[in-house]
Amino acid sequence: MSVTFDARSGIITLDTVATTYQMKLAETGHLLHLYYGRRIPGDDLTALIPRVDVSFAPDPYECRATRTFSLDVQPQEYPAANVGDFRVPALIAESADGVYGDDLRCVSHAVRPGKYALEGLPCADAGEEDCQTLAITLRDAATGLQVELLYGVYEKEDVITRAVKIVNGGDKDIVLHRASSAALDVPFGDWQLIHFQGRHAMERQMERVDLMHGIQSVGSTRGASSHHHNPFVILCGREAGEEQGECYGVMPVYSGSHRTDVELDQTGDVRLVTGIHPDMFRWTLKPGEAFTAPEVILTFTHEGMGALSRRYHRFLREHIIRGKWNHAARPVLLNNWEATYFDFNTGKILAIAEQAAALGADLLVLDDGWFGQRNDDNRALGDWFVNEEKLPGGLDALIKGVNGLGLKFGIWMEPEMVSEDSDLYRAHPDWALTVPGRKPTMGRNQLVLDMSRGDVRDYLYDTIAGLLRKHHIEYVKWDMNRNMTDVYSRALPADRQGELFHRYILGVYDLLERLTTDFPDVLWEGCSGGGGRFDAGMLRYHPQIWLSDDTDAIERLYIQHGSSFGYPVSAMGAHVSACPNHQTGRTVALGTRAVVAMSGTFGYELDPNALTDGEREQVKAQIARFKRWYDVIQNGDYYRLAAPGEGRFAAWQTVSADRGEALVSAVITHAAANLPGIHLRLRGLDPEARYEMDEMAMEGCQAIADAMYGQDAAAERPVYSGAALMYAGVTLPVMGGDYPAAQLHFTRVK
């Protein structure tokens, strides 16, 4: 049993294989948090949290005489405002009488086999044998507000998911001003915060900071999870590293505006509250109505950040990403965006496709510019009919040509947007988010469609489904290229406008649910100007998401490194592009570009006709190599061996589940003279087994001296024990030049 309840002590314990999460139902009915950490066998941890009188910490009425029980210092599961806890609240509600706050006391709890579902929101799935659900209902007697705390306990995976359903059980309206998904109180310890910040074309840069007294927040008010702060944070012990140390992972399954607050309080305890961003959020619940806060995926490990990441990778692949393409081999694609931008026609695309097929690619993706008068990015979004001037004979003629070369055909769309200069906007100006009487703020000269509206979603469903039914399209890239401003819906009354940010993303989920259900064979790739909506919510619909608009291989090292803390390789769209790179102007060897892009869903974004014959041979070999190593790359356990920026190289490794195969990749980011080759200790191998290094690819090297673990680099297929590779390590040959790279492939010797 992963969930146990002791009625006498009020102790509720959630056990997974390696962790224990314990709560206590206090005599007062408050639901306290006692512990989340390494597995503990059946102890009652009540005494961990002292009951002392802390000055200026108010007491619930029944504790007024003893004065040793204050919500201001007791760790809690779901703290509400205005009842004695001055730390960050998870819930701020206002009754029709103007009463703020809720005195939440437990009324019931229930344990069910299997996993709860959340209406209208993406969440992790599970079979009955994989998960147990705990539901605890709290209630505020004064207003009738009910809060159902949901816990999904994935015993084998060491994951606990949380979500919240808030019901108006009273007889008057209640307004929610903040309805977070979870609070996690962490009493004791010296914690640091790891978060993933960035900007367009430089997303998810890992930042590790000390906590200060007060509140630190990361989040987005952009209506999308954003390039700027990913909805994923780690709280880690000061001593934590890749291989050791305590860390908590907190990953909201949400793609809209979000916020995570981390407070270090007066007593040194930490509270983390995460969920929908409370700014401009105001949700009215009529009597009997319910509001569901998005799910959060929590995990804890004492084995360092590497273990934490691998747990998320596995969990997302098993319980979030779904459908045919989750585990199926993804196609190697060639996307025409950086090859042609808007300047293409059928002939040009077919010429690209011909080369792509010859090189071994599987899919040709036609990016932006194929529809309406879309000859630049100022117009035509919304006009999802083919531009016959560019593509005479329409999509079918082109698709036939592409399919005839043995390639699948995929297409780009940006369904949530509309250009002012479009037939759609001219017909339905009220479908865009704009404020009456005010000129809208523009982003990429486009407007955002009101996805909270059923008529907008129906129109988009019919349009996209129509295209998919009519043409043989096997892949869709779903883009989203601006953030939300002028957030006002013509379809909502004044007192419901505060719901729009969240209703928008619910609308996106609704449309994606319908489309991905009705077109299960299509491979959907998410995108938002690259990685502007790269989150667990979107991964429920898109098994892969274009990681970043920055295709520079060296910048990508940082983006992929940061993204790898939470997200699996199989989710990260990564392409080899032309040099000098279009975003940075940097030149990196073609081989190195491929080594980096291979740590994602591999593809190309260049004109293969512009390659030399030699380069084409290289590309052929790269695609063949990727396909040969597909399984260990896409499904293997991921190890960060050396972080970019910390030394003069970056390195990472994937190991197959049975530890029979491993691939090590390294890129030197800073050339230096008179240094030995870089040294790496491998991870995750079987120490007892012997591994043959059956392939070694050196890319972009100007000069190579041959030294490899005491053997000649040219030696045929050297064999090492797993122990030697992990404990002694390997020293790579000296690699000179700008950004050389190496890939070492190992296979266990039978």
The pattern of x and - marking residues 433 through 472 that bind ligand DGJ according to CB under 6 A reads ----------------------------------------
**Site residues for ligand DGJ, window 575-594 (CB under 6 A)?**
none
Minimum CB distance to ligand DGJ, residue 479 (Å):
5
Per-residue x/- marks for ligand DGJ, 319-348, CB under 6 A? Answer: ------------------x-----------
Q: Is 203 in the site for ligand DGJ (CB under 6 A)?
A: no
- Which residue among the candidates 157, 269, 338, 535 is catalytic per the annotation? 535
Quick one: residue 341, left, alpha or beta (phi over 0 = left, psi -120 to 50 = alpha)?
left
With 0-12 CB in 10 A as exposed, 13-18 as middle and 19+ as buried, what is 673?
exposed
CB 175 within 8 A of CB 223: no
Residue number with CB closer to ligand DGJ (269 or 368) = 368
Handedness of CA 422, 423, 424, 426 (dihedral sign): positive
Q: How far is the CB of 461 from ligand DGJ (least distance, A)?
A: 22
Binding segment (CB under 6 A) for ligand DGJ, from list 226-234, 248-256, 294-302, 524-532: 524-532
Query: Tokens for 443?
Result: 């982003």
Distances (CA, A) of 187 to 271, 525, 676, 695: 8, 41, 46, 50
Kindly identify the residues of this chain, within the stretch 372-401, that bind ligand DGJ according to CB under 6 A. 377
Pick left, alpha or beta for residue 13 (phi over 0 → left; psi -120 to 50 → alpha; otherwise beta). beta
Q: Can you read off the two tokens belonging to residue 137?
A: 């209902």
Residue 592 backbone phi and psi in degrees, to 5: -65, -40
152 Cβ contact list (under 8 Å, min separation 6)? 115, 116, 124, 126, 131, 132, 133, 159, 160, 161, 162, 163, 295
Question: DSSP letter string over 293-354?
Answer: EEEEEEEEESBHHHHHHHHHHHHIIIIIS-SHHHHSPPPPEEE-HHHHTT---HHHHHHHHH
Nearest-CB residue for ligand DGJ? 368
Q: Which of residues 413 and 682 has its CB atom nearest to ligand DGJ in the complex?
A: 413
Closest approach of ligand DGJ to the CB of residue 724, in Å: 43
Site for ligand DGJ in 615-654 (CB under 6 A): none
CA distance 440 to 427: 18
Catalytic status, residue 535: yes
Give the C-alpha separation, 552 to 154, whole Å: 38
Interface pick for ligand DGJ out of 185, 263, 367, 637 (rule CB under 6 A): 367
Positions 411 through 430 that interact with ligand DGJ (CB under 6 A): 412
Cβ atoms of 163 and 123 within 8 Å: the answer is yes
Nearer to ligand DGJ, 154 or 546 (CB): 546
Residue 78, CA atoms < 13 Å, CB-side half-sphere? 35
Question: Rule CB under 6 A: which of 269-328 touch ligand DGJ?
Answer: none
Q: From the list 368, 420, 499, 661, which residue makes contact with ligand DGJ (rule: CB under 6 A)?
A: 368
Query: Which segment (3-11, 501-509, 525-533, 645-653) binds ligand DGJ by CB under 6 A?
Result: 525-533
Number of residues that bind ligand DGJ (CB under 6 A): 12
Helices (H), 429-585: 454-470, 500-518, 536-539, 553-564
Among 479, 499, 552, 699, binds ligand DGJ (CB under 6 A): 479
> Is the separation of the CB atoms in 500 and 489 below 8 Å?
yes
From the candidates 615, 686, 694, 738, give the one annotated as an active-site residue.
615
Nearer to ligand DGJ, 464 or 678 (CB): 464
Pairwise CA distance, residues 360 & 293, whole Å: 45
Q: What are phi and psi of 320, to 5 degrees?
A: -110, -60
Q: How far is the CB of 583 from ligand DGJ (least distance, A)?
A: 11
Judged by beta carbon, residue 174 or residue 353, the one nearer ligand DGJ is 353
Judged by CB under 6 A, the residue of 275, 529, 568, 718 near ligand DGJ is 529
Q: Do 275 and 181 contact (CB within 8 A), yes or no? A: yes
Q: Which stretch binds ligand DGJ (CB under 6 A): 143-151, 260-268, 527-535, 557-565?
A: 527-535
Nearer to ligand DGJ, 79 or 562 (CB): 562
Helix (H, G, I), strand (E, B) or coil at 170: coil
Sketch the per residue contact string, 543 through 562, with ligand DGJ: x for CB under 6 A, - otherwise: ---x--x-------------
Smallest distance from ligand DGJ to CB 579, Å: 17
Least Å distance, CB 480 to ligand DGJ, is 9
For the CB of residue 409, give the shortest distance to ligand DGJ in the complex, in Å. Answer: 16
d(C-alpha 723, C-alpha 691), whole Å: 10
Query: Could you confirm whether 712 is annotated as catalytic?
Result: no
Closer residue to ligand DGJ, CB minimum distance, 185 or 367 = 367
Tell me the window of 22-30, 250-258, 522-530, 694-702 that interacts with ligand DGJ (CB under 6 A).
522-530
CB of 377 to ligand DGJ, least distance (A): 6
132 DSSP 8-state letter:
E
- Indicate the helix (H) or strand (E) that contains 667: strand 661-668
Of residues 206 and 527, the one with the C-beta less far from ligand DGJ = 527
Q: Which stretch binds ligand DGJ (CB under 6 A): 120-128, 300-308, 311-319, 526-534?
A: 526-534
617's enclosing H/E stretch is helix 613-628
What is residue 146's three-state secondary structure?
strand
Query: Minimal distance in Å, beta carbon 531 to ligand DGJ?
Result: 8
Instruction: Single out the residue of 226, 434, 481, 516 in contact with ligand DGJ (rule: CB under 6 A).
Output: 481
Q: What minimum distance in Å lies between the beta carbon of 200 and ligand DGJ?
A: 9
The CB-of-538 to ligand DGJ minimum distance in angstroms stands at 14
Amino acid symbol at 605? E
Count CA atoms closer than 13 A to 296's CA, side-chain side.
29
| Buried-exposed string 565-602: b where 16+ CB fall within 10 A, e elsewhere | bbbbbbbbbbbbbbbebbbbeeebbbbbbbbbbbbbbb
- Looking at 530, 603, 644, 700, which residue binds ligand DGJ (CB under 6 A)? 530
Q: What is the nearest approach in angstroms of ligand DGJ to the Cβ of residue 563?
A: 15
Our CB check for ligand DGJ shows the closer of 304 and 573 to be 573
Residue position matching structure tokens 């698709």: 399
Write down the residue that tokens 């299509």 correspond to: 522
Cβ closest to ligand DGJ, residue 261 vs residue 549: 549
Which chain residues interact with ligand DGJ by CB under 6 A? Answer: 337, 367-368, 377, 412, 479, 481, 527, 529-530, 546, 549
Catalytic residues: 535, 615
